Structure 1
Amino acid sequence: MATEVFLIQFLLISSLIGTCCRNIGWGNFSFNNVNNGFIPQKFSYQIPHAGFGQGAKIGICYGRNADDLPTPDKVVQLVQLHSIKYVRIYDSNIDVIKAFANTGVELMIGVPNSDLLPLSQYQSNVDTWLKNSILPYYPATMITYISVGTEVTESPVNVTSLVVPAMINVHNALKKVGLHKRIKVSSTHSLGILSRSFPPSAGAFNSSYAYFLKPMLEFLVENQSPFMVDIYPYYAYRDSNKNVSLDYALLSPQASDVIDPNTGLVYTNMLDAQIDSIFYALMALSFKTLKVMVTETGWPSKGAISETAATSDNAQTYNTNLIRHVINDTGTPAKPGEEIDTYIFSLFNENRKPGIASERNWGLFYPDQTSIYSLDWSGRGNVDISTGANITSSNGTWCVASANASETDLQNALNWACGPGNVDCSAIQPSQPCYQPDTTASHASYAFNMYFQMNGANDVACTFGGIGVKSTKDPSKLKSVE
């Protein structure tokens, strides 16, 4: 019963916190930490730091192993249409980087495994690459991460010994131009880097990788970069469906619990179990504070005859549940409340990828930019991603600022909501989706409603010293309510 109550609470809270401001036109501001509160300040464009602490982020992987994809500028329009703010690419293609200029989208770029040799050998090679491929387009294009190498332990050519020297050279090149704190360097891994992943508490790295893994982890800690890992519950189910239930792999609330016998921790889905196996492997090597970022996860919408779970319905279910799980900052059983930034694979189907049929069918969109299935990017419910139209509604009640409130009272209440009230007000900062209209009343209404929904939509959560008012009218049609 306790587990059932937890699951119900999780679904309710995640659907409320996922309120999408894109459709209600609320604005944004920045904050200075003053007297244990947050003081909103209007400010001009600032270069973002790559880092954590602003709530978990959902991004998308933009792979281009296809011969029928739209041009980068059209891809950017598609990304902006659906308010996607975080994108991962797998190289430093100049046309793609230029296309994302002045969009507000944060970009993770990649160094392909084929480039590791020259970048690991000579610092001058990296300096030249940075000068030609990155610096001319930064900060107009908001590059925040560089992934040096992709799943190097899976590479058909052994490049594992090259990855750390290349990472160090990239970091040094960034340091020379003062960008090492704004652009973080890491490398992505497959779950195959573990020798054991079940139960999660027994997670351990393959000892044969110790020669490059230990210095890499030390580098990540020293430079406050995340450990990046690609995680696919789909494969766990496909390859062991007699031991792994489909609901468990899909993050469905109907899944039966799995208990780690060593810790007693209860797992309701495969993704959490796989992430925790990484956390425990890191802790076993005394890297207890290292952040984990999921740089790929997803579910194919189509596969070979033998891949019966590769369907659009399952893909929709997995990614919908994933988004809700991530944006709620649920964390994992071993790391409750942990912010785990996550990238969905992939933006498009890629027709040139080798292998079994599912390899070419991980996309959210066909190359003609029509959606393969409906998906809610905000975590609120299903949204048709070809139009952005809402399919499910909110609880029908909002908390907004009273039209009779003074500017001072609104500002004070806003400060409280975004500080001690623990509302994530990043969406109402300049250049973010909810900045407009740029008024204190609009910003306060956004913060009031977020606090209200986060706290069960009860009367007490909409007082704000008498200036909060409950409304059954959509705030997109109102500036404030008397």
Structure 2
Amino acid sequence: MAPPPPPRSAFRRPLWCVFFLLLAAPCISAGGFVGVNYGRVANNLPPPAKVVALLRSYGVTEVKLYDADPAVLSALSKSGIGVVVALPNELLPAAASRPSFAFSWVKTNVAAWLPATQIRAIAVGNEVFASPAAKSLTPALVPAMRNLHAALVRLRIDSTVKVSSPIALTALQTSYPSSAGAFRPDLAESVMRPMLDLLSETGSFLMVNAYPFFAYAGNSDVISLDYALFRPNAGVVDAHSGLRYYNLLDAQLDAVFAAAKALGHSGVRVVVSETGWPSKGDAGENGASAENAAAYNGNLARRVLTGNAGTPARPNAELGVYLFALFNENQKPGPTSERNYGLFYPNEGKVYDVQFQLHGVTVRRDQKGRSSGGSSGGGGGGGDRSHDQGSVSASSAGAAAGASWCVADAKVGAERLQQALDYACGEGGADCAAIQPGEACYSPNTLEAHASFAFNSYYQKRRRSAGTCDFQGAAMVVSQPPSEFLRHDHLLPPASLSFCSIKCLAEDDQPDQRIHWQTDSEAKDPARSPF
């Protein structure tokens, strides 16, 4: 087994867990996806063949490794799972100084396994700048990346296999506010600019390890747990840009985008190569619990799979993430949390459940980043899945291109739905006057209908921003008018003609934020309905 990756810095962490019922893109370079980090710093894990069977049983389609172990690559052969292999930190000097070494490594650890093992990328090192050997390894990083890419070109596989390097957020000198994000002076010109140049030249992406847990655990007196876990909250305004952030991960990623923009790379694509939340920790590790881990990973996965993962500064960007980690790893050094990032125990039992709540329509984004719905059909495996973002509802032929709404998900139960409704109509600032007794949209007087009304008001008022249709899992984005969706899911009585649905009129890139209230009888009149 390859040596373990370097220990996590106090600002983020390299452990991952993931649990997927439905995963989207078969290609890192296109669309959003959720994958898992398969770390093996343990002496009690299942053999690779059983691990691959576990991954497939939960629909995991992307996996990231910390080495290129032949036993693992063999087990992944013909599995249909995309793979990121890694060149360990200790091999960077050889790969940087000897092109022949880089070529031999790529030929043995990448080319020899294609196409049966679907290798997507090479992660060159891991958090090199945070490594104990950073002083000697950092100058070798970009030269090693260039030599490895040259080997890919020579072997004629550079169009399908990309080169990148996972960086930790400690590479940033400034991360708050997000718009002021900047790389450290010792890295900006000497390493990050040439790295970004290479990524741009080769059509690759920047790998970022981002852990909101560390920021929260170290600053729980000033950072809201809801803000860290993608739960409803009042948000945080960036005083420089005026953008409002509703979760900490978005703020961290936009700081990276700002830092890259300052170096002339405003269009860089980012893949979150590690993120996660521990299910257990020591007494001083605030927030480490199975409940919070399930909330963080589940809410993040739901956002990505429903195509709602853009950030305030990059609202149309697709996001790919690798959750850390697949298993709890009992030989990882450090605090208790380090050994408890897994989605699974070594016996293959689940540490906690992550519910994706995806229901029948695949959300896709067009070239302008707008969401649209289409029936997922019955074939399951056919067609191009590179833009699939997860299923959320049945399709509606009458829905305008790019339109989306936020509705209640009754499966969470009445108690959670009521809590979310109270938040939306209270602190959330949704316009709930019309669902009060005696008002136009009070009927039907059901919790699901009223919650859908309130959730959608909140969602549309925030311009359908990423993360604003979740309410701790009590809501979901749909691509058809709410009245049609709720009737389809039997939440409205068939004879009801007085349900008020919210219509958001969308034109090109900028949605018209007027809210159009109408009864079902009005909606059936094509002359009166924009849909």
Tell me if TM exceeds 0.5: yes
- Structure with the largest fraction of helix: 1
TM-score by length of 2: 0.66
CA shift digits 1:219-270 (9 cap, x unpaired): 01111111111000000011111111111111111x2310000111000110
Moved over 4 A (4+): 19-22, 417-429, 450-453, 457-462, 469-472
Question: Is 1:114 aligned with 2:90?
Answer: yes
The change in CA–CA distance for 1:262 and 1:183 in structure 2 (over 3 A counts) is: same
Secondary structure of 1:300 counterpart:
coil
Report the Cα offset of residue 418 of structure 1: 13
Distance across 2 between alignment mates of 1:337 and 1:451? 23
Residue correspondence of structure 1 range 1-400 to structure 2 within 5 A: 50-52=28-30, 55-158=31-134, 159-209=137-187, 210-253=189-232, 255-330=233-308, 331-376=310-355, 379-380=356-357
Question: Is 1:455 aligned with 2:434?
Answer: no
Q: Is the 8 A contact 1:423 1:450 kept in 2?
A: no
CA shift digits 1:343-380 (9 cap, x unpaired): 1000001111111110111000000000000112xx32
Distance across 2 between alignment mates of 1:51 and 1:418? 14
Report the AA paired with residue 353 of structure 1: K
Secondary structure of 2:194 counterpart:
helix
Percent identity, please: 37
Report the Cα offset of residue 273 of structure 1: 0.4
CA RMSD of aligned residues (A): 3.3
Other-structure match for 1:434: 380
The change in CA–CA distance for 1:240 and 1:49 in structure 2 (over 3 A counts) is: closer
Report the AA paired with residue 287 of structure 1: H
CA shift digits 1:8-61 (9 cap, x unpaired): xxxxxxxxxxx9779xxxxx9x9xxxxxxxxxxxxxxxxx76512xx3111100
The change in CA–CA distance for 1:428 and 1:118 in structure 2 (over 3 A counts) is: farther
Q: Is the 8 A contact 1:329 1:338 kept in 2?
A: no
CA shift digits 1:274-310 (9 cap, x unpaired): 0000011111111111111110001000011112411
The runs of 5 or more residues in structure 1 that have no matched partner are 1-18, 23-27, 31-47, 382-393, 400-416, 439-445, 463-468, 473-482
Distance across 2 between alignment mates of 1:288 and 1:69? 42
Q: Is the 8 A contact 1:97 1:141 kept in 2?
A: yes
The runs of 5 or more residues in structure 2 that have no matched partner are 1-19, 384-390, 398-476, 491-531
Secondary structure of 1:449 counterpart:
coil
Report the AA paired with residue 328 of structure 1: T
Report the Cα offset of residue 153 of structure 1: 0.4
Report the AA paired with residue 264 of structure 1: G
The change in CA–CA distance for 1:451 and 1:292 in structure 2 (over 3 A counts) is: farther
TM-score by length of 1: 0.72
Q: Is the 8 A contact 2:317 2:369 kept in 1?
A: no
Report the AA paired with residue 284 of structure 1: A
Distance across 1 between alignment mates of 2:377 and 2:67? 31
The change in CA–CA distance for 1:310 and 1:447 in structure 2 (over 3 A counts) is: closer
The change in CA–CA distance for 1:354 and 1:112 in structure 2 (over 3 A counts) is: same
The change in CA–CA distance for 1:451 and 1:353 in structure 2 (over 3 A counts) is: farther
Q: Is the 8 A contact 1:425 1:447 kept in 2?
A: no
Report which structure shows greater RCO (CA 8 Å, sep ≥6): 1
